[in-house]
A and B are shown apart, each in its own frame.
Chain A
């Protein structure tokens, strides 16, 4: 019974995974014949000053969006864990951004932030009429804001579920010992959520490697190369410049990065997948 799933996953998951490594040693324009190229692609890509930049942007997006999303999601998740009715209603509304496609969100923010036709021009507020997507640092900030806007609801829900599993007796005991809410939050809620934090962080980190569509539509990597993350770099090299070999090198780096991150975060907290299985 496992065979159909295994076949599909091997053909369109595992084979391409091996294939991308093979292709990184070949020369291919996406149409014609594929020729072996030795380590030429690797030499080109690793020697390209654009690579450290793209890696830097990728880590900046990952790190900054983690740093924004985690505290906010924790706070909102804890807040939502309360059983009051209105909080349930809030949760319904929070979830809406997650229903929109990244393309729709990117298009909306592009229109909203347009210096001539956007919200700032309409409201005549000077601060809002900046060329948000036309200046490097600002554009990166916008990407991080939009990512947070899109995904904080999801991570809040994960934390909400986590908080609800913490036994109330722990809070009662702490309250008897005279610990205030802030103290309870840092001495009970946060440590008890250790595995939830690791799960959520893993999803954020590995997910941030694939923020392709959002950035592609929002900034297309620009201005200049300011928001050119690795996934976009791969696309541009492969499908715009028709250099599939170098693009495959970037893809291999992405896979390695994803694996390394997942392993690192797993080591940090023991095994999350094992705890997921046992927790069933």
Chain B
């Protein structure tokens, strides 16, 4: 029994300590973003602002952040909708066509993609995008992002489609349903939680992506939020409150989405990996 108490104590304090380590910087970001520069230097960094100001947020919004926000939304939606759709179709085909060598080969190729740091292929991707005359467009970010999202999406979705009992497919086939019909009316509703999970997980990655926009675009009009953050920080590095306001503003939409869809994301993530 003494051992029991000791490890609980250790795990418990690790848990609470980590909570502090996570929350302190986050708290500091939010509090500081409402201070003006003089208050920032004069005050205790953890004190609440005595005269809270929205000036930092104003500065960020005036620096074209609404446009970057729209760009990020376009890139994220433009990646996730096609990526999840084609990954779902591929996963369905792989599960239903078990035994086909072509499909097994395709699946093997996708699995290989999991082991390779795809960012290492950025130079040929850059060449490809130039040759397709897509350089410095949002599509230049979208196309490779779709490809990079496929391996993990296919893996997670095949796992879930396999869970659909074979008898259901059989009885539908007897009733004359086509594969496309079964995909829509049987597999789609039953794997919806997995689809949402995959969409959120990849969406997060694309929304926060930095390397592809950095390399495949150049003009400010094509900037996405992480890149905008970086350039904003380069411009206003001394104005810490403004920089932190930009961090808050770019993260806020995700935090709101997280608050809404958290259960889905957390349970989906553990289901996808802890096997």
Contact = CB atoms under 8 A, between A and B. Distances in A.
Contacts of B158: 277, 280
B27 to A, nearest CB: 11
Contacts of B15: 75-76, 79-80, 87, 90
Contacts of B163: 280
A217 interface: yes
A92 B262 contact: yes
Interface in A61-84: 72, 75-76, 78-80
B55 interface: no
A6 B109 contact: yes
Contact of A15 (B6, B90, B124): B124
B149 to A, nearest CB: 9
A180 B125 contact: no
Nearest to A153: B22
A139 B226 CA distance: 22
B117 A258 contact: yes
Contacts of B247: 100, 104, 107-108
A181 B4 contact: yes
Interface residues of B, number: 105
B67 interface: no
B150 to A, nearest CB: 5
Nearest to A13: B147
B147 A103 contact: no
A28 B145 CA distance: 25
Contacts of A6: 90, 106, 109
A140 interface: no
Contacts of A118: 240
A219 interface: no
B266 A93 contact: no
B167 to A, nearest CB: 17
A133 interface: no
B117 A103 contact: no
Q: State the main secondary structure of chain B at its contact with A.
A: helix
Given A1-B93, A206-B117, A280-B160, A111 B128 contact: no
Contact of B18 (A11, A72, A261): A72
Nearest to A122: B45
Interface string A90-122: 111111111111111001111110100111001
Contacts of A200: 273
Q: State the main secondary structure of chain A at its contact with B.
A: helix
Interface in A184-238: 185, 195-196, 199-200, 203, 206, 209-210, 212-213, 216-217, 231, 234, 238
A13 B118 contact: yes
Contacts of A134: none
A14 interface: yes
A99 B19 contact: no
Contacts of B12: 79
B123 A107 contact: no
A259 B275 CA distance: 21
B100 to A, nearest CB: 9
B144 interface: yes
Q: When A and B form their complex, which 6 residue pairs have the shortest distance between CB atoms, in order from nearest?
A: A180-B3, A161-B270, A19-B124, A161-B274, A101-B208, A12-B147
Given A87-B15, A104-B226, 8 more contacts: A15-B128, A90-B19, A101-B250, A107-B230, A107-B233, A213-B210, A231-B120, A258-B117
16 contacts: A4-B90, A5-B89, A9-B150, A16-B124, A19-B121, A20-B120, A93-B23, A99-B258, A103-B230, A104-B208, A107-B233, A180-B6, A182-B6, A234-B123, A255-B120, A275-B275
